[in-house]
Amino acid sequence: MINDQINFREPANYDSIWQETIAQNFGMPSDKLTGSLLRTLASTKPGGTFLELGTGTGIATCWLLDGMDEHSTLITVDNDEKPLSVARKYFGNEPRIKIHLDKGENVINSLPASSIDLIFADAWPGKYNHLEETLALLKTGGIYLIDDMLPQPNWPDGHSEKADRLVEWFETNEALTITKLNWSTGLLIAIKK
């Protein structure tokens, strides 16, 4: 399988964050393939403003930061202090990041329209609820990325149908250009026209 043959230069702190993620039994970290893509996409937006919905322990956060330049800003939010404490430990003094312990909906509603260059929606807010409000945050040409669009072992009953409906919604939205990737955990990338 090609995914097993790809070697990635991991971001600083990746191994330490991964070990703490395992120690917490945090079952929803982003994988390296998604992380690598996040780093690449972040690097296309110098001086950009980025939004991560669902910080978790900071696995995807470290990939985003690794692709960002020194003039970029990352806003990240999670509603669970336990995994977020790991992200705070490693990124609390990082000047390019603003970490929020809050509901994703509150952060989404607090941001001005057309102010974000890239959104990684890795939580229900911004993906399965408050989707239109989240997409309104994107600048023209802004990137929206979601993962876990292929069946996952931790999905509850009925979630597959919910994911299918979400993909169908994107397929019919004429304000976006999308690409679906049968890669990593199943990705969908949307660009705001």
Q: What is the reported pTM?
A: 0.94
Q: Vertex 134, ends 129 and 139: CA angle to 5°?
A: 165
Least confident of 15-19, 110-114, 158-162: 158-162
Strand partners, 88: none
At 54-71, the pLDDT tens digits run 999 999 999 999 999 999
Res 13 pLDDT > 70: yes
At 67-97, the pLDDT tens digits run 999 999 999 999 999 999 999 999 999 999 9
Res 2 pLDDT > 50: no
At 116-151, the pLDDT tens digits run 999 999 999 999 999 999 999 999 999 999 999 988
Over its C-alpha atoms, the chain yields an Rg (Å, rounded) of: 16
Strand partners, 94: none
At 96-107, the pLDDT tens digits run 999 999 999 999
Q: Whole-angstrom Cα distance, residue 159 to residue 150?
A: 11
The dihedral region occupied by 184, where left means phi > 0, alpha psi between -120 and 50, and beta the remainder, is: left
Res 1 pLDDT > 70: no
